[in-house]
Amino acid sequence: MLRHSLAPRPWTQSVVASVGIVILLTLACEKAVELAGASTAPTKHKRWLVAPMPPAEKLLPWGLRSKQEGPHAYVEQMPEYPGGSAKLMRDLRTNLHYPKAALAAGLTGAVFVEFVVEKDGTISNPQIARGILVPASQAAAARAMHEEALRAVRSLHEYWQPGRWQGQAVRVAYTVPVSFDRLTYLSAIQRATDH
């Protein structure tokens, strides 16, 4: 009498499981293709769907905006300060005056100023992108640092090399850190005590 074991062999279980996974993935992909062709209005069961792609003529690489909308975020050739970023930092440091309120409060840090480099190389619309976070008791000193950072950026009289996209000068948004670091703080204290 022959006995047959009804228990499946280990390799058959893995083959059956693999085939099952492939079938499930195939069905899921077919369902996703069907849903992608359907309306993309958010519903209770279709929240994961992405909005339809805009027409090809409106697509611009690297998150660029259309020419009518304003400054670009990224372009083929980014704007450049005459002498490079090292000279930009040097000029900002030379123009920077540590506010007395910040000296008294002992504040240090960096203020990030965002502005637009225009097609002609001038800068416009400087504003604080990220300021110094301080307790409410030191808000006036931080505000003075923000105003000084804006003043230092506005005092840059050099014309930038404008950003270029497809060979044409374009407006580009640019952010620069204005550093109120410990070295500047100590030199400001030294100048205050010398006078």
Per-residue pLDDT at 150? 94
Is the model's pTM score more than 0.95? no
Residue 94, pLDDT score: 85
CA distance 195 to 191: 7
CA proximity to 156, closest of 116, 122, 110, 182: 122
3-state secondary structure of 133: coil
Which has the closest alpha carbon to 178: 97, 123, 102? 97
Architecture in CATH of 70-194 = 2-Layer Sandwich (3.30)
| Selection from 52, 134, 75 nearest residue 101 by Cα | 134
Q: Nearest 5 degrees, angle CA 102-CA 158-CA 114?
A: 50
Q: For each of the chain's 195 residues, which pLDDT tens digit applies?
A: 556 556 556 666 677 677 777 777 676 666 655 555 554 444 444 444 443 444 444 444 444 444 445 788 888 899 999 999 999 988 988 888 888 888 888 888 899 999 999 999 999 999 999 988 888 888 899 999 999 999 999 998 788 999 999 889 999 999 999 988 766 666 666 666 665
DSSP annotation of 193 reads H
What pLDDT score does 127 carry? Answer: 93
Residue 59 pLDDT: 42
Q: Which residue in 167, 79, 85 sits closest to 124, CA to CA?
A: 79
pLDDT value for 21: 76
Tokens of 171: 């407006």
Q: Where do the domains of the chain lie?
A: 11-57, 70-194
Strand-pairing partners, residue 116, are 124, 173
Q: Residues near 80 by Cβ (< 8 Å), separated by ≥ 6?
A: 160, 161
